[in-house]
Chains A and B, each alone.
Chain A
Amino acid sequence: MITIKTDLRRKILEHNEDIKKCYQCSTCSASCPVLRYDPDFNPRILIIKALYGSEDTLESKEFWKCLSCDRCNERCPQGVNPYNVLLKLKNFLFSQNLAPKERIDARELIITTGFSYPISSAVNRKRESMELEALESIGEELKKIVETE
């Protein structure tokens, strides 16, 4: 049984008007490469739970299994854009400090260095052997535009 949480429902709908158009046809689920390999990840169910503001929506770890392939967005006949709904829910989790640590660390790495991969001397030696310029951290500018406080 789904317990509806009105506050959360309102909050989710505020940023996801399109979600109301979902008629639970399962096109997203049938198109999802993750569901094919792991039935616990079911975009259709994640969408209906989000639509109802179901309490366990935000406790679900399933969100983070999305491959971000965009196939569900592409095929959704209702323009719900399930991938984007999941993105907004993940953003909400992040704002509540509920995102997995590896996502928070990965974000921090980009903001501090400008790159999503750690820059090591091994990488730069390899680049040098191919006559490519060494990588240098260029994160300072990002700090200025991303962090507003």
Chain B
Amino acid sequence: MNRMNRMNRMKQYALFTGCTIKAALPHIEMVARKVLPLLDIGIKELAFTCCPNADFRSTDEYSWLVVAARNLALAEKEGLEILGLCPGCTQTLREANMVLKDDVSLRAEINKRLGKIGLTFKGTTEVNHHLVVLHRQIDILLQRVTIPLYGIKLAVHTGCHLLMPSRIMQFDNPEQPRKLGELVKMLGSTIINYPEETLCCGFTLFGSHKDIASRIIRDKVESAFLSGAEAFVVPCPSCYQQFDRNQLVAKRELKFEYQLPVFYYLQLVGLAMGFDLDEVGYYHGRVRSPGLEDKIKLLVKKTVVNL
């Protein structure tokens, strides 16, 4: 299919990158911008602010809702659905969207605030993490895989906010998540089961209670490593940071033996579509595994047999 046809067919979304990726992990934004349009997902940038995050919510839920409403109203104004790169942002925006669609008197109050900046929340947009969209159009993903990641053994960490609260996220079973694993298998890689799969990564406490957060990292890494994993795969920038930079800090402090690099899911998609490790931003990660890198470099193009 030629490029123009594809551009016309492509559904456009308002990309909600989120602060963590924008400011701390820009290589993830880079890979998302590269890969999503190749999967027929059009993206547009709007003047979004912080979603806002759970820390902000812990100070004042009303303001949290006001700021989230502004973000939702911006997308509504453009007639676009929101596509999240971060489960935390996605959760905030989905919850605010649900509350404001449901509670009309609260909506009226919030709209008075939004009126000051010329915006209105009408309840016309939807919010989804990109994995939800990829899972819905799995055939497109399968078509684009040219270099299957055969033999790469991955520990899947879905994290918390893509799953819970399940009445809001409506994506997967929080007790036994399997969709990210399915998406990983679609790329040809192998997923390994490990005992601590559903344990939270502990990122939120890394700043304030490093001792707790570090022990969580140690248990996650040890459990995945001893189960045979070569890397983690995550859908979340906070989990990514926890398993990347923070893993090295935890390792130094607790002196554990093992280490595992981490991939954001779209980095793996990029590799399976033929980009190299550099092009998917792998080298911006702090935890490296030369053995795994060699294995990835040796992957070969899928043989296409036309019958």
A residues near B (Cβ < 8 Å) are: 33-34, 37-38, 64-65, 67-71, 73-74, 87-88, 90-91, 94-95, 99-100, 102-104, 106-107, 110, 114-119, 123, 126-127, 130-133, 135, 138-139, 141-142, 144-146, 148
Contact B205 A34 (CB under 8 A): yes
Q: Which of A71, A107, A130, A145 has the most CB of B within 10 A?
A: A145
Contact A110 B50 (CB under 8 A): yes
Cross-interface CB contact of B56 among A100, A110, A141, cutoff 8 Å: A110
Classify the interface of chain B: helix, strand, loop or mixed. helix
The segment from B61-69, B76-84, B249-257 that touches chain A is: B61-69
B residues near A (Cβ < 8 Å) are: 19-20, 22-24, 26-27, 29-30, 33, 45, 47, 49-50, 52-61, 63, 66-67, 70, 113-114, 116-117, 160-161, 164-166, 174, 199-200, 202, 204-205, 207-209, 211-212, 215-216, 281
Contact B23 A115 (CB under 8 A): yes
Contact B204 A68 (CB under 8 A): yes
B196 to A, closest residue via Cβ:
A33
Contact A94 B160 (CB under 8 A): no
B125 to chain A, nearest CB (A): 18
A69 to chain B, nearest CB (A): 4
Contact A138 B160 (CB under 8 A): no
Q: Point out the residues of chain B lying under 8 angstroms from A127, CB to CB.
A: 22, 26
Q: Point out the residues of chain B lying under 8 angstroms from A148, CB to CB.
A: 113
Contact B70 A71 (CB under 8 A): no
List, sorted by A's number, 30 A–B pairs whose CB atoms are closer than 8 Å. Answer: A33-B199, A38-B209, A65-B205, A67-B160, A68-B204, A73-B164, A73-B165, A90-B59, A94-B58, A102-B208, A103-B55, A110-B67, A115-B19, A116-B53, A116-B55, A116-B56, A117-B19, A118-B23, A119-B23, A126-B26, A130-B30, A130-B281, A133-B45, A141-B117, A144-B117, A145-B70, A145-B113, A145-B116, A146-B67, A146-B113
Further 20 A-B residue pairs, CB within 8 A, beyond A64-B208, A87-B58: A37-B212, A37-B215, A37-B216, A69-B200, A71-B200, A74-B164, A90-B58, A94-B58, A100-B208, A102-B208, A103-B55, A107-B60, A110-B52, A118-B23, A123-B24, A130-B27, A130-B29, A142-B67, A144-B116, A145-B117
A145 to chain B, nearest CB (A): 4
How many angstroms from the CA of A104 to the CA of B60 in the assembled complex? 10
Q: Point out the residues of chain B lying under 8 angstroms from A139, CB to CB.
A: 49
Q: Point out the residues of chain B lying under 8 angstroms from A135, CB to CB.
A: 22-23
How many angstroms from the CA of A33 to the CA of B70 in the assembled complex? 33
Q: Point out the residues of chain B lying under 8 angstroms from A91, CB to CB.
A: 58-61
A114 to chain B, nearest CB (A): 4
How many angstroms from the CA of A106 to the CA of B205 in the assembled complex? 14
Contact B67 A106 (CB under 8 A): no
Q: Point out the residues of chain B lying under 8 angstroms from A95, CB to CB.
A: 60
Cross-interface CB contact of A99 among B27, B59, B166, cutoff 8 Å: B59
A82 to chain B, nearest CB (A): 12
Q: Point out the residues of chain B lying under 8 angstroms from A144, CB to CB.
A: 116-117
A148 to B, closest residue via Cβ:
B113
Q: Point out the residues of chain A lying under 8 angstroms from B60, CB to CB.
A: 91, 94-95, 107
Contact A145 B58 (CB under 8 A): no
How many angstroms from the CA of A115 to the CA of B58 in the assembled complex? 16
How many angstroms from the CA of A117 to the CA of B164 in the assembled complex? 24
- When A and B form their complex, which 9 residue pairs have the shortest distance between CB atoms, in order from nearest? A117-B23, A114-B49, A70-B164, A69-B160, A68-B54, A94-B59, A90-B58, A69-B200, A116-B19
